[in-house]
Chains A and B, each alone.
Chain A
Amino acid sequence: MPSKHPSRQEMPCQDPGERIGNFNEVALGFSENHARLEASRCLNCKNTPCIDGCPVGIDIRAFLTFVVEGEFKRALEIIKEKNTLPAITGRVCPQEMQCEAVCTLGKVKNGTPLAIGSVERFIADWNAMHDTGVVIETPPRTGIEIAVIGSGPAGLTAAGELARLGHEVTVFEAFHRAGGVLVYGIPEFRLPKDVLEREIEFLENLGVRIELDTVVGKTVEIQELLDDGFKAVFIGTGAGLPRFLGIPGEGLVGVYSANEFLTRTNLMKAYNFPEYDTPISVGRHVSVIGGGNVAMDSARTALRLGADTVTVFYRRTVKEMPARSAEIDHAIEEGIQFRFLRNPVALIGNEENRLVSMKLQEMTLGCLDASGRASCEPVEGKFEKVDTDMVIIAIGSDVNTICTSSTCNIETGRRGRIVAMDASQRTTMEGVFAAGDAVTGGATVISAMGDAKKAAKEIHEYITSGTSSNETSS
């Protein structure tokens, strides 16, 4: 018997055989028809669990209603109330753990949750294509200068929010391009860079200034910014310090951090070498260590750069993998291999210091840890050796303290994370706020945006009312 609820619209994708030969976007996006059909599945739940599932609380039910009616511009307005970068989140949010995880449609028998992310992406893309120019009303300029450090999702969101309140925002970015992980980490085939450029242009139209090639902590100090007349500083410097395994052989030629591999390929466009100058050399048998989005991106990038085989080694099992499920599925379709319950203990080189193989420890799952994830332990005495000429380490990253280390007033905690008060995102330095991965450690685009929004609100309050624990009025 057919289900009462029509099934979920499938996202059209580039054919796997074809896409491994290019860097074009894999997921092609919904058509108008797809989007309206999908939106029409919504049950209009009174209690809207989906909204609670979204870290920024987008009124999902409302925008879906507009989509059904074909009012795509109105739908975008609803989204933009809470989320300034829907073309991005629609593509990269781990929806199956957020809005879609709690969708009522997924709870009914044989049901599938509404494809909220895909519809969100459609709305953003449709409006960009039809150049609807959703107008954002901005109040009169306040003339108050605010500095934003870092141009990832956190920095861009804070900048956008503050500019919309009429403030003069300058974003300082260390790299020669704005976007943070969105430009140096997440590959073109998952997030086309013109989507990002579109969003950045939107901010610039709001009056946000972006100063590239500026490493705060080196080129200029936070204190100097405050002395120069910036009334508040927002830190959104991310978690860009790559973690290594700490095992023998990590200095061998052929061993990369995922950050290096992806930065060379995405930011520096090594996939277009030699048109672009930056080189990358990819092995024939590539091993990727890790199980998150970064590991999936590295594996799929290596395949596109011409590796014969790419294998992901993860110390737990597929169930515990933190990557978005769509990316795992796409990786499997593309022919990426997976070896679970394996953890490298040594990387082995030849006499020329080139990687030739890797020694793996067999692992087993233990009890659940505090986060509800199964822990894993080595199986004593069980090792194996695999041949490999390239290892990409994608086991997470820590916070780079280059921005804060020269300022002793900003307290940092475990792994360099900036201590920010939960509700306000205030740091321990007067007038300085922080959000995103720099505070939480590696997390998600949408959580960085959510916290940055909170910070922007606090900053606005701070500069307009001058309230603060140790200052009277401004």
Chain B
Amino acid sequence: MVTILSNTQLNDIIWQMDLEAPRIARKGLAGQFVIVMVDDYGERIPLTLADMDPVGERITLVYQVSGKTSLQLSQVEAGEQLSHVVGPLGHPAEVQEYGTVVLLGGGCGVAPVHAQAKAFKDGGNEVISILGFRSSDLVFWEDKMETVSDELIICTDDGSRGFHGFTTQALESQIEQGREIDRVISIGPLIMMANTVKVTRPHYIPTIVSLNAIMVDGTGMCGSCRVSTTDGTKFSCVDGPDMNGFQIDFDELLSRNSRFHEQEAISLEHFKKECKCKQAVQEVEKCK
């Protein structure tokens, strides 16, 4: 059992949850994740460590309400407990002194980008963060990102704030402006990560993506999270989640990640029937 310290809504679909998890807080590094089970009937879902406070023994997760489990997460309150949280899992992000590092964060990918930006900045890099949101009212963690970035570019799909367009387009324009970039990290929806690679490949900029393959155990024993790479089959949970973007078969991963769509819809329906909190239901409907 793990105690919830706070559970706050950051924008219409994204929430931040702080948990009391001393062992994970002390051990966890940027790029690693935990697996959460809300209750004993629950699914095991992976969520990236967005921040760790080893002294306060607290970890921070940021999640987007996208289906049954994340909706259920959004309904538990501070003081209540989650059945199971295990971690830190996966390899930490590889942090060296590269020079200029650009981090792309899309939607709730902003949070994991935060942990990494911090690590890269502490590692002596110039950090440029490019964060993408659908519109200005969805922007979150701007202040937190500012403190860990040398430069912060906010993008909105509708142009209501900052750069009008996707993060990948902002990256492209940086490259076109002749910016020297030594490494790119891209964390967000699969499509964004696939597009990042399309942008960076012609310029030979090493590009790391954080793979969000469907997981069960998160420790390398089921193979659910396997991805095909040019270097053979890899397990995202133990070989990743950060991987060389140039090697990934994104098409395959996209279809593998949609393999339970039918069941996910049933699960959500089933939960909504039992669910007392109407407001949260409307929220998830808005985002679907």
Contacts and interface: CB of A to CB of B under 8 A. Distances in A.
Interface of A: 174-176, 212-215, 218-220, 240-242, 244, 250-254, 256-257, 259-260, 263-264, 268-269, 273-281, 352-354, 400, 402
B86 A251 contact: no
B176 interface: no
B249 interface: yes
B9 interface: no
Contacts, number: 121
B83 A176 contact: yes
Contacts of A214: 23, 86
Contacts of A279: 43, 260, 263-264, 267
A303 B246 CA distance: 40
Interface stretch (B134-142, B226-234, B275-283): B226-234
Interface residues of B, number: 44
B27 A281 contact: no
B219 A402 contact: yes
B50 to A, nearest CB: 18
A259 B271 CA distance: 27
B162 interface: no
B262 interface: yes
Interface in B69-122: 69, 83-89
B193 to A, nearest CB: 17
Nearest to A243: B223
Contact of A281 (B69, B259, B270): B259
Contacts of A174: 86, 217, 219
30 contacts: A174-B217, A175-B217, A213-B85, A213-B86, A215-B219, A218-B27, A220-B27, A242-B221, A242-B222, A244-B223, A244-B233, A250-B233, A251-B228, A251-B256, A253-B255, A253-B256, A257-B224, A263-B222, A264-B224, A268-B44, A269-B41, A273-B266, A274-B263, A276-B42, A277-B41, A277-B69, A279-B263, A353-B251, A353-B256, A400-B220
B143 interface: no
A354 B255 contact: yes
Given A277-B68, A353-B255, A400-B220, A213 B227 contact: no
A257 B219 contact: no
B152 interface: no
Contacts of A276: 41-42
A273 B27 CA distance: 34
B270 A274 contact: yes
